[in-house]
């Protein structure tokens, strides 16, 4: 079932999400929510979706960076972003640890801030400890674009949007970004 994605200004996007117990994770209603979030993310389309974005303030995230999304980018863009396909997976009750001191800044968008983009500095490498959809512990070491996705989605669980972290002078509509920024060489 495709769920309604909440937009900036909705209170649920600004509150801290609550953790889920192992029993809640295994419950049919949570499993159905995971599947609905997957369908909603893919329909949008997006690379991640947090439960607060569909109006449910729990610490649950789905992530998938499909290979078809990468086909739109040049080899140089993929290398610059350190971006590769990421299989669908679920993160519940995640904690994030920055693995290095290097930060990188790229444009981000958000399904809950539809139609806009801005540059956001993020850690290049992170480690995430969480539970999966079976309430099993998982550790994820990520770098590059995957690390960015994880940081962005986990921010949602704390009531933080990318606009809180972005360089405010970079804020743009998607259309203007495509017309004025994307067409400039990377070193401009």
Annotated catalytic residues are 153
Contact (Cβ atoms closer than 8 angstroms) between residue 38 and residue 62 = yes
Burial call 60-95: b when 16+ CB within 10 Å, e when fewer? bbbbbbeeeeeeeeeeeeeeebbbeebeeebbbbbe
Distance CA 3, CA 19 (A): 21
Distance CA 74, CA 172 (A): 22
Note the maximum CA span of the chain.
Answer: 52
- In sequence order, the β-bridge partners of residue 8 are none
170 token code pair = 């970079």
Residue 160 DSSP SS3:
coil
Residue 43 DSSP SS3:
helix
């Amino acid at each position: 079932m495709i769920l309604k994605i909440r937009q900036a200004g909705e209170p649920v996007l600004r509150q801290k999400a609550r953790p889920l117990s192992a029993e809640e994770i295994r419950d049919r209603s949570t499993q159905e929510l995971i599947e609905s979030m997957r369908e909603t993310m893919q329909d949008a389309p997006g690379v991640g979706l947090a439960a607060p974005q569909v109006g449910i303030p729990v610490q649950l995230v789905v992530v998938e960076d499909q290979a078809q999304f990468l086909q739109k980018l040049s080899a140089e863009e993929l290398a610059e972003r350190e971006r590769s396909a990421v299989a669908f997976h679920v993160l519940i009750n995640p904690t994030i640890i920055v693995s290095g001191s290097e930060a990188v800044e790229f444009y981000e968008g958000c399904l809950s801030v539809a139609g806009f983009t801005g540059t956001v500095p993020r850690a290049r490498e992170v480690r995430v400890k969480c539970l999966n959809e079976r309430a099993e512990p998982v550790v994820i070491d990520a770098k590059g674009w995957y690390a960015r996705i994880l940081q962005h989605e986990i921010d949602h669980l704390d009531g933080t949007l990318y606009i809180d972290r972005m360089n405010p002078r970079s804020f743009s509509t998607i259309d203007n970004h495509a017309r004025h920024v994307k067409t400039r060489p990377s070193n401009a």
